[in-house]
Amino acid sequence: MSRGRLVTSGVPQESILGPVQFNTFISDIDSGIECTLSKFADNTKLSGMDDTPGGQDTIQRDLDKLKKWPHMTVMQFNKAKFKTLHQGWGNPQYQYRLEDEGINSNPVENNLGILVDEKLDISLQYALTAQKANRILDCIKRSVTSRSREMILLLCSALVRPHLKYCIQFWSPQYIKDMDMLEGLQRTATRMIRRMEHLSCKVRLREFWFFSLEKRRLQEDLIAAFQCLEGTYKKDGERLFSRACSDRTRGDGFELKEGRFRLDRRKIFFMMRVVKHWNMLPREVADAPCLETLKVRLDGALSNLS
């Protein structure tokens, strides 16, 4: 172990060891916290049930504990970023405090690039995603003279598609108007290719072996489900999904159990909407021995869908 040294400045951004060092330094921030404290780099969120006085008191006690942490670590919270997001119908909108100052409430918050509002309506996220992708497509159209297939597909895959795929397990659209808005982005991109302007969108997608964005979202959902059931996140998957065991089911002897919920909003959650599609997968796809095999077999299965 090296000797101690006074650090008078922050950890350099975008460094290899920076996030590890920072996470190590703040690892004890959730010590004694009763509610859920989510940490991602320097983004920290405290969440709990505040529909009862007891729940509100628990959250406030945790905030009081967090107030003491900067004094012990010689760090400071960024008070300008303190925000409260009250979710749910009939929420009492309790006024929380940190360091003797009230925390302002917002109807919508940006959570690691995803807009979340008080009613879990993600329409704002669709509009934001479409806006970003449209700006990039417009920039490509104005700054790139080549209209070759290779150039346009390369630029769209590298610059546009990441925005359309980012965290779609959370914000995947369910309404036709939102799906059409996003599908229009892919139509615009393929129309930029030379000698493809006058073909229909279906013909262009078939020509380039492209899936519609709806199929791509389904593909990403099923890949994430496989990771939770059989892959990297299997430990977390045991909490997210319930298996319906039966000798009459396919291959490995299980299907996913469809959950029961009171609110329609729950049916659009990833853990709910992916169950039906997973149970409908062909046996050879669901029984894939590894992720790479699953991707290959899944491509074939989705290609046969209308």
Cα–Cα distance list, 100 to 68, 215, 302 (Å) = 12, 50, 56
Cα–chain center distance at 94: 28
Cβ neighbour number for residue 35 with a 10 Å cutoff: 16
**41 has pLDDT over 90:** no
Report pLDDT for 209. 53
The band of 187, judged by pLDDT with boundaries at 50, 70 and 90, is: confident
Report pLDDT for 207. 65
Give the mean pLDDT of the chain: 82
**138 has pLDDT over 90:** yes
Which region among 58-62, 111-115, 228-232, 243-247 has the lowest average model confidence (pLDDT)? 243-247
Contact 197, 188 (CB under 8 A): no
Select the more confidently predicted residue: 210 or 228: 228
Among positive and negative, which fits the CA dihedral 150, 156, 157, 159? positive
**135 has pLDDT over 90:** yes
**14 has pLDDT over 90:** no
Question: In this prediction, what percent of the chain has a pLDDT beyond 70?
Answer: 89
The band of 182, judged by pLDDT with boundaries at 50, 70 and 90, is: confident
**288 has pLDDT over 80:** yes
Can you read off the two tokens belonging to residue 248? 């009459």
In this structure, are strands 43-47 and 108-111 parallel, antiparallel, or unpaired?
Answer: unpaired
98 contacts: CB under 8 Å, gap ≥ 6: 63, 66, 67, 77, 79, 82
**97 has pLDDT over 70:** yes
**274 has pLDDT over 70:** yes
Which region among 2-6, 105-109, 111-115, 135-139 has the lowest average model confidence (pLDDT)? 2-6
Report pLDDT for 112. 82
The band of 58, judged by pLDDT with boundaries at 50, 70 and 90, is: very high
Report pLDDT for 43. 80
Select the more confidently predicted residue: 81 or 198: 81
Report pLDDT for 171. 84
Question: In this prediction, what percent of the chain has a pLDDT beyond 90?
Answer: 8
- Number of C-alpha atoms within 13 angstroms, CB side, residue 95? 4
b/e per residue 167-181 (b: at least 16 CB within 10 A): ebbebbbeeeebbeb
